[in-house]
Structure 1
Amino acid sequence: MFIETETTPNPASLKFLPGRPVMSQGTREFATPEAAEASPLAQAVFDTGEVVNVFFGGDFISVTAAPGVNWSDLKPQVLSILLDHFVSEAPLFAPGTAGDISVPAEDDALLVEENEADADIVSQINELLETRVRPAVAGDGGDIQYRGFKDGVVYLQMQGACSGCPSSTATLKHGIEGLLKHYVPEVVEVRAA
């Protein structure tokens, strides 16, 4: 088995492509060792002691190194863990966890209370995010989560390699905001949630 790696716009993150599906649906982010307990694979990556984020996408895994960690030292460790996992065909999630079933967590709740009159606008925003934004962000090793719309402001949360990326503000403000404003005139601003 061969696992490809790709750099991401976030210099602290690498994208690992095992050449097979990782998640059957949705995405899953592990931002703490405690959260990683739901997945033996994520936990093993965190157990290196040099990782601050693990993100599972449809066909990739993004890993963010802790500040000051050199990828030339960490990359072989992560590759070994991933190879062992995929060759052994071990389950991605521990028994009794939500696994890859989309179950909204408490922190996945909408950031703002939305107005029912904005339902059509929210639908347009979500369609653009799903068809235009999400594939581009996944290409960079991350994902984007819709967190609400109120008074012309769209609230979004970057995940995976995109979370904490130096260019994430530019992506939100110049890329996504411009796209949403163009197609949905009611959008006046995009903010990070």
Structure 2
Amino acid sequence: MPKIVDIDETPNPNARKFLLREPLTWGMAHSYENAEQAQGDALASALFAIPHVSNVFYIDSWLTVTQDGQADWEQLLREIAIPLRAAPAASAQSAAAVFAARASVADLSAEDRQRIDDIERVLDQEIRPYLQGDGGDLHVLGLSGNQLIVHYQGACGTCPSAISGTLQGIENRLRTLEPDIEVVAA
């Protein structure tokens, strides 16, 4: 059972990041924007059963919960802690399962696959650590011509600065690789 080490505020006032002693997953992100998406995930379903929870995102040893802005954080944090403490820690997952989850951009030419690999390397080294530090993340959904389609997860998904400033910053950084790239959030 994961023990809560700390609870951090995020730049999104409606999201909190829980740091855990034991991992919930080994490299596989779980991101849900509603209870229907969370079906089959016991932890996320239990969290969505709590009034005002509007988003659940977790990976490795941290979890971010976003609320609808109507709840008192002190009370909500106590309610969230119950299913979180009851959740099992991650069991060993096969490398194949982790690889399959990461290999989500399919049907690309060799040239576009290399472009995605270069983009992912920059995101992994320079962008994701900051997003994850704030309780969120970024998932590449696809590449169409010069348009990179991304999806914000966790606290970043509903944070106003993610859609404006952060998206522009990511695009500016990626333009050092590809001057004509446009980054679009879906």
**Range into which the TM-score falls when normalised by the shorter chain:** 0.7 to 0.9
The structure-2 alpha-carbon separation of the partners of 1:6 and 1:167, relative to structure 1 and needing over 3 Å to count, comes to: same
Distance 1:2 1:16 in 2: 7
Once structures 1 and 2 are overlaid, which stretch shifts more, 51-60 or 148-157? 148-157
Structure 1, residues 24-45: CA drift from partner, whole Å, max 9, x if none? 1221112221222322221221
Structure 1, residues 63-116: CA drift from partner, whole Å, max 9, x if none? 011232221221111123322x15xxx3669xxxxxxx4566xxx667xx8555
Partner residue of 1:151?
A: 145
- TM-score with structure 1 setting the length: 0.79
- TM-score with structure 2 setting the length: 0.82
**Pairs aligned (count):** 175
The structure-2 alpha-carbon separation of the partners of 1:118 and 1:92, relative to structure 1 and needing over 3 Å to count, comes to: closer
Decide which of 157, 163, 171 is 2:166's aligned counterpart.
Answer: 171
Note if contact 1:156-1:192 (Cα within 8 Å) is conserved in structure 2.
yes
Partner residue of 1:21?
A: 23
Residue 19 (structure 1) shift? 1.8
Distance 1:181 1:55 in 2: 29
1:56 aligns with 2:58: yes
Note if contact 1:45-1:81 (Cα within 8 Å) is conserved in structure 2.
yes
Note if contact 1:16-1:61 (Cα within 8 Å) is conserved in structure 2.
yes
Partner residue of 1:96?
A: none
Gaps of 5+ in 2: 92-96
Distance 1:123 1:11 in 2: 33
The structure-2 alpha-carbon separation of the partners of 1:149 and 1:186, relative to structure 1 and needing over 3 Å to count, comes to: farther
Q: Percent identity?
A: 29
Distance 1:161 1:139 in 2: 10
